[in-house]
Structure 1
Amino acid sequence: MNIELVTTKEQLQDAYDVRTAVFVHEQHVPIEEEIDEHDATATHIVVYDNDNAIGAARLRLVDGYGKLERICIMKDYRSAGYGKHIVMKLEELAREQNMTKSKLNAQTQAEGFYKKLGYETVSDVFMDANIPHVTMTKQL
């Protein structure tokens, strides 16, 4: 596994391909909601297994928080620890950008995963793209 900071158009396309496979095709999120105006200014990462893109995520500064977004892993690679490494990499990037706290909107089915990584739920359940979510935060 190799987590790379996206610096080329090819890497960015790999990240979009993973996000499209997971969120659009698997979870039925409309493409116009998944690929949005924030992609142009976000910091993106892509995860490779050999030359295969298997994971992706992005980081933005939002309201003083490092906001972890679009965290996803291809179905065949889940439950292998990649998600933890993605979150740790995003937190590292946030600290490098002098962010002292992070937040994310977690699908409720992943809330326990993020709690194990030190995130605290700070909202009631809300719907995003017809999927229940909660907002979670962490001091970095």
Structure 2
Amino acid sequence: MKVVNAKTEAQLQEAFYIRKTVFVEEQKVPYELEIDEFENVSDHFVLYSGSTPIGAGRFRLLDGKGKIERICVLLANRGSGSGKILMDAIENHAKEKGIGILKLNAQTYAIPFYEKLGYSVVSDEFLDAGIPHKTMEKNIT
């Protein structure tokens, strides 16, 4: 598996395809909430198994911190370590940019996954697109 920082329109469309499949089709998030105003100010990542896109995520700066968003892996590829590979690549990208603290809004069922990667819950539960979330942070310096 490899992670690519999406630089071409084709790679960006592959990231959107993965996100639409997981969030819009599987989790029933409205399309207009999934594809938002931050797409053009974010770095997009695609996880490939061979030449097949199987995961995606995005990264942007927010209040001096790195914000990791839209982490997703296709259902058939979950539980294979692919999410960790994707997160490691995005964290390395943040380090290259000199970012010391990362934050993300985790769906509550995914909190144990992020805790294994060193993230800690820093908020109470809240709803995002009708789905329970908590904010998590990690110091990567």
State the TM bucket, normalised to the shorter chain: over 0.9
Structure 1 residues 28-85: Cα deviation after superposition (integer angstroms, max 9, x where no partner): 0000000011011101110111221100000000111100000000000000001111
Unpaired runs of 5+ residues, structure 1, are none
Distance 2:51 2:93 in 1: 23
- The within-5 A match list for 1:1-140 is 1-140=1-140
TM-score by length of 2: 0.98
Q: Match of 1:63, as an amino acid?
A: D
Q: Which 4+ residue blocks in structure 1 deviate beyond 2 angstroms? A: none
Distance 1:47 1:86 in 2: 6
Deviation at 1:27, TM superposition (A): 0.2
Q: Match of 2:6, as an amino acid?
A: V
Distance 2:73 2:39 in 1: 18
Unpaired runs of 5+ residues, structure 2, are none
Distance 1:47 1:138 in 2: 22
Percent identical: 49
SS at match of 2:123: coil
Q: Which shifted more, 81-90 or 20-29?
A: 81-90
Q: Match of 1:70, as an amino acid?
A: R
Structure 1 residues 79-115: Cα deviation after superposition (integer angstroms, max 9, x where no partner): 0001111111111111111111000000000001101
Distance 2:119 2:95 in 1: 16
Q: Match of 2:82, as an amino acid?
A: Y
Q: Match of 1:97, as an amino acid?
A: K
Deviation at 1:125, TM superposition (A): 0.5
Deviation at 1:2, TM superposition (A): 1.5
